[in-house]
Amino acid sequence: MSTESANAISIAAAGEHVPPPVDGKKPGHFAKITGVPYFGVALIVGCGIFASTFSQTGVIGLYPLRFLLKDKLGEGPLRVALFMQLAAMPWNLKIFSGIISDSIPIFGTRRRHYLIFSSLLAGLLWLVVGIVPPRFMPMVLMAITMNVALVFVSTISGAILVEGGQTFGVTGKLSSVRVLAMNIAGLGVPLGALLATRMLGISAMAAAIPLFLLFLIAVFLYKEKPTAKRNPKIWKDVKSQLKIAVGAKTLWFAAGLLFLVTFAPGFSTPLMFYQTDTLHFSEHFIGLLTLIDAIAGAAGAFFYVYFCRRMSLRQLLYGSISLTAALSLLYLGYNDKNSAMLIEAVYCFVLSLAQLPLYDLAARATPKGSEAVGYSVIMSMWNWGLFFSDLLGSALFEKYHMSFKSLVWLNAATTALVLLAIPFLPSLLVDHKEVEIASSNAPITPA
């Protein structure tokens, strides 16, 4: 199963490293805009998460870059997939941005100046992406560099969420702000599809605007006392966490399953070529399909709350993988605009349900004492699986002339094979409902 939707919102998940508070200090003192004590934190978190999601090359840049590579540079599916995956590579190394910001202050701060410089740099680099010579290598190098800056924006925003949430006791409310910001930012995909008919510079400006606004907010509203010192102990802590993670069998069971699930030959990039070359869909109609994807995916996420408290994780994994494998076969009937809209809606609704048990598995499998590094290892396996999935599917489509519908059959079959691995997952990890874990006096601790 490629856990990207066909018109995927390629939002990187790598690392999800959120540094803990350092030296017990509170987050910076925000300008008092309202009487809500954590309003400034929520503003920074919401704007930071929105900007670092919306401005990804796999969100606002997904279709402008894809169509430029395909139509203007004449690249095939494999090279298009390679470009997008290489551009997103910094997200696989997200944990290092957290370690760096925790251990090496800039002008005495661990958050404020990182946020100011990274948001400004990412915005400027997006503008450079829009004017760089339209050739594969210069563009991919600039996109990689831009994503490095964007990773820091995301990491610092997550760190402020954790610190502010713990200081004001509102981690749940700030987490809801994060989810809302990501969902709204996902609308950058259909917007990018609409902008794909114009020059790349227009899309680059659209991507840069939220980053420049975040820069201004960080400069004028986010204050942090310049008292932070270098913290070499962070590196020792990471080494200790890594040692725990390496010895945790449950972590590697989960990481292996996530890699197998995402490694199935994907058809995200081949679908774009099938939509444009065979079905002759316009960029505007593809934008409409991505909007349908986003709405259906959000609806699916709401339903997971109902199921996770009534079924064990093992049952959810069996159900989600089986349904995804079966419903991916709907793409065999993907022949015109009406069938495309129906199939996208149904598949993305189920895909959202299918992904959430996998995220649940990742969270449960992370060993205590290695929360940041352990979870980063698991999510890195997820992203590496997606990396090879899109490349493998595109190579089969282009180099070996496998038809799109043959690729659909292969994707469904290889996804179904993952079911054979579920029985090997440790009972302690997956044979509990969420409500049982929440009410247990002895929390589940992966080995």
- Would you give the distance in Å from CA 213 to the centre of its chain? 22
- Per domain, the residue ranges of the chain are 23-230, 232-447
**What's the CA gap between 151 and 112, in Å, rounded?**
15
Cα distances (Å, whole numbers) of residue 352 to 8, 38, 154, 346: 12, 31, 22, 10
Same topology between domain 23-230 and domain 232-447: yes
**What's the CA gap between 266 and 21, in Å, rounded?**
39
Quote the tokens at residue 266.
């994907």
- What is the sign, positive or negative, of the torsion defined by CA atoms of 313, 315, 321, 327? negative
Q: For 353-356, which contacts have Cβ atoms below 8 Å and span 24 or more sequence positions?
A: 353/300, 353/301, 353/303, 353/304, 353/307, 353/320, 353/323, 354/1, 354/3, 354/320, 354/321, 354/323, 354/324, 355/3, 355/320, 356/301, 356/304, 356/308, 356/320
User: Per-residue confidence of the chain (447 residues) as pLDDT tens digits?
Assistant: 554 444 433 333 333 444 443 333 444 444 444 455 677 788 888 999 999 999 999 999 999 999 999 999 999 999 999 999 999 999 888 878 877 887 788 898 888 899 999 999 999 999 999 999 999 999 999 999 999 999 999 888 888 887 777 677 766 677 667 767 887 888 899 999 989 988 999 999 999 999 999 999 999 888 778 877 777 776 777 777 677 767 777 778 888 888 888 888 888 899 999 999 999 999 889 989 988 988 887 777 677 666 666 778 788 889 888 988 999 999 999 999 999 999 999 998 888 777 777 777 776 777 765 555 666 677 778 778 888 999 999 999 999 999 999 999 999 999 999 899 888 888 866 766 544 444 443 333 333
Cα distances (Å, whole numbers) of residue 346 to 251, 296, 305, 324: 32, 7, 19, 10
CATH of domain 23-230: 1.20.1250.20
Provide the whole-model pTM.
0.80
Which superfamily, per CATH, for 232-447?
A: MFS general substrate transporter like domains (1.20.1250.20)
Question: Which 3 state secondary structure label does DSSP give 156?
Answer: helix
Paired with 30 in beta bridges are 222
Q: What's the number of CA atoms in the CB half-sphere (13 Å) around residue 86?
A: 15
**What's the CA gap between 415 and 237, in Å, rounded?**
37
Backbone angles phi and psi of 428, in degrees to 5: -60, -25
